Structure 1
């Protein structure tokens, strides 16, 4: 399935990147002053923890996604990996695929392995009109975010190349809704762990189906019980850029502060 621009009505990003430490690059040793675990935030607190224009400064415009606008329901149009073990990679960058409810809301019965709440946003920058960053804040029950991080860490080898299929768009004529098949390549990118995060990881996922090679660049930071995912999009001629460090840094700081505050 073509790498898609995040739908304004459903954006998730929940697991793609992670790893270990307050080090300069992926795979370093654990930081001695790693932040203390944060408390679980409610769905409304998670939404309130999303960065705003004034957190980023002049030239930035943040849009927090509104649930229900154009959504077709939990899991609708979900892209399925040919290799089941690689599914978390698609879910983490596939808007709205994991919580089981509309973005920006809480799941009534998410289960221990599923996120219980999610807030999605997009950030535009006047100086770079084509360089939008899409973000997702995903809340997990205590301990699950770290477990998920460890699981994702093991996928860079087995999922270096894999395929997927997704339902055809609803606009297709009846009888012609053949699944859309896509070939992906996954590459890990050295990524510093932002101050305040417990871990971070970066990667590039390509879509090599069709005439153009599309790219999706992701950075995922684990902050206490939540994951914050940031993605950008590009093509072979103009590969996806590294998500704006200021956005990542400010979002991590705001999420950590929210977890440290008394509920």
Structure 2
């Protein structure tokens, strides 16, 4: 598993196919509610340049932060650098594709990636992926994510042809930045933790997925079982959602 997480949602574009082929995961009222919410809070679809311009800056955070906007296409490891892991539960595959190599065809219409660090904690990075979609798609994807969180509490994965399996534990997390919905905040916010592996060396990842109109903003941190990943910085989450709201206004 790469220590620098890829943006956590593009892989969910492939999830409808998994839902259709897995009897244990079905779209339900949550999907209908998400569609209604998307209509009520629909934002303007952003171009790649507009999405990049909407990325949070150090000035937005009032000092004490370093923000690095990554060059286009560098939000994850180079193609072929990491082998794709396959889940023993097909419905849980999007979780693995979200944090490692996935389906290259499952991509948002526009994407920008950045990292944030605080001067007071330079070794603790926050990874941010801004993912732009056609109208209504972001809400549908977030609804699908909620379904995966409800049904993939524990599963295993492996690399085809390579011995050994990795155990994963997935759980919903409370969001300290849960200021939604508000005029300047997100339309919806989903938080989760993922622990991959066993023992003190297990990889811990924490994420918040904020939907702002047609964009999903994914905030991720990384840690270990001994030092679990911390919650994404609430100030950074709020500042980024405000910029995305303004960009779609």
Q: TM-score higher than 0.5 here?
A: yes
Gap runs ≥5 in structure 2: 13-32
| Correspondence for 1:84 among 83, 90, 101 | 90
Q: Which has the higher helix share?
A: 2
Query: What is residue 65 of structure 1 aligned with on the other side?
Result: 70
Given the superposition, is the C-alpha separation of residues 87 and 193 from structure 1 closer, same or farther in structure 2, using an over 3 Å criterion? Answer: farther
CA deviations 1:152-179 (Å, max 9, x no partner) are 1112232001122348xxxxxxxxx837
Which residue pairs with 1:6 in the alignment?
A: 4
- CA 1:245–1:140: 2 relative to 1, 3 Å: same
From 201, 225, 239, give the equivalent of 1:236: 225
* Residue 178 (structure 1) aligns with: 162
TM-score, normalised via structure 2 length? 0.76
Name the residue aligned to 1:172.
none
User: Larger relative contact order (C-alpha < 8 A, sep ≥ 6)?
Assistant: 1
Q: Does structure 2 retain, via aligned residues, the 8 Å contact 1:13–1:135?
A: no
The residue that corresponds to 2:156 in the other structure is 163
Aligned residues between the structures: 220
CA contact (8 A) 1:40 1:259 kept: yes
| 2:213 paired residue among 216, 220, 224 | 224
Given candidates 42, 48, 57, the residue that maps to 1:52 is 57
- In the alignment, the residues of structure 1 paired with residue 164 and residue 130 of structure 2 have an alpha-carbon distance, to the nearest angstrom, of 28
The answer as to 2:186 corresponding to 1:197 is: yes
- What per-residue deviation string (whole Å, max 9, x for no partner) do you get for residues 12-71 of structure 1? 222699xxxxxxxxxxx99x9x97311110111111111111111211001111135695
The reply on whether 1:207 has 2:196 as its aligned counterpart is yes
Gapped runs of 5+ residues in structure 1? 18-28, 101-109, 168-176
Deviation at residue 114 of structure 1 after TM alignment: 4.4
SS class of match (1:197):
coil
1:182-239 Cα deviation digits (max 9, x unpaired): 2110111122244421100111100124652221011110111110000111112221
The alignment yields a C-alpha RMSD, in angstroms, of 3.1
